Amino acid sequence: MTRVGEIPSSASLRMDISSTRERMPLRIITFNVRYATTNFEPHEKPWDVRCPKLVNQLSFITAGHESPFICLQECLYRQVNDIQSRLGDGWSHIGRGRGSGEHDGEFSPIFYRSDNWSCERSEVRWLSKTPFEPSRGWDAVLNRIVTMGEFLHRGTGTRVIVMSTHFDHIGVKARENSAKLLIKFAREWGSGGAGSPSAVLVGGDFNSSPNDGGYKIMTAPDSGMSDISHLLPKSAHYGNQITYTSFGKYDSSGEGWEEARIDFLFIQEPRTAHVKTFGVLANFFDDDVRVSDHRPVVSDLDILV
């Protein structure tokens, strides 16, 4: 935790920031882990092979961070339990399946350090015209959800809102309307808790490239949202650009790679957080196992205490 002085103007776009308040670091991650299927894509390994490698990666990129929040997508109930077990003591999660029962269908859970943060409230809503009950929206082919949590830092009383979501991969109208709902929910949660949050953060697989309507709605001037990757110059970005790779040997050198950038981190404006880093990390290593068909997206922020 540090006390900061003046923030350079290049880092203060649309920021409402006090130079006299204490700040603390927070790491936000979004990662579609690929559901545990038995109908494998070419080169895809079973979940039992991918799981230990994937959780090792999560453990590595959160080690030494007091306040990491991990937004996951495509987790079946078994996978949620496997990840929770392997992350170990000090970690908890929120979320439920998108189906009719609590454990039915895919989760979009949020994992957090429960030794440092308490979850004050949480909720799962469906991205549909009836968001408070299991349902499918517009032209979507599957139920889609957002998991929302309000978290309180045990040491400082700092509050943050974190949201994890997964938009439909087919329905164009569903993605556009899901974005509108997400913006509405973020505004509601950002102003409806026990105290003003230091940040409202959204992570997810939006199945929406920057050229798609869903993404454009999320980043429209009146959305109240910023793509975190836009808050640092590209020269400061780390790692890859595309976030969806499939399980094959993905070539990002040709035209159209931008369409495979579908996983994003957003922050609600006006923000008081200072974005320090942004990166799209690897999902493929020397052992020839791709831990998922998506790559983890990571950002470090300093938030007001």
Alpha carbons 125 and 53: distance in angstroms, whole number: 31
Q: Quickly tell me which residue has 């990166």 as its tokens.
A: 279
- Predicted confidence at residue 226, as pLDDT, reads 98
- Predicted confidence at residue 78, as pLDDT, reads 99
**Range of the structural domain that residue 99 is part of:** 2-304
The DSSP output letter for 245 is: -
pLDDT by residue (tens digit) across 265-276? 999 999 999 999
- Predicted confidence at residue 250, as pLDDT, reads 60
Rg (CA), the chain: 18
The DSSP output letter for 271 is: B
Alpha carbons 162 and 267: distance in angstroms, whole number: 10
Q: Quickly tell me which residue has 């979501």 as its tokens.
A: 165
Q: How confident is the model at residue 256 (pLDDT cuts 50, 70, 90)?
A: low
Which pair of structure tokens corresponds to residue 249?
């040997």
Number of domains in the chain: 1
Q: Answer whether residue 17 shows pLDDT above 90.
A: no
Q: What is the CATH number of the domain that holds 75?
A: 3.60.10.10
Question: What phi, psi does 230 have (nearest 5°)?
Answer: -85, -5
CA angle (203 as vertex; 137, 263 as ends), nearest 5: 80
What's the whole-number average pLDDT of the chain?
92
Run of H or E residues at 181: helix 172-191
- Predicted confidence at residue 192, as pLDDT, reads 76
pLDDT by residue (tens digit) across 277-288? 999 999 999 999
Alpha-helical segments (H) within 206-246? 213-218
Q: How confident is the model at residue 47 (pLDDT cuts 50, 70, 90)?
A: very high
Alpha carbons 25 and 21: distance in angstroms, whole number: 13
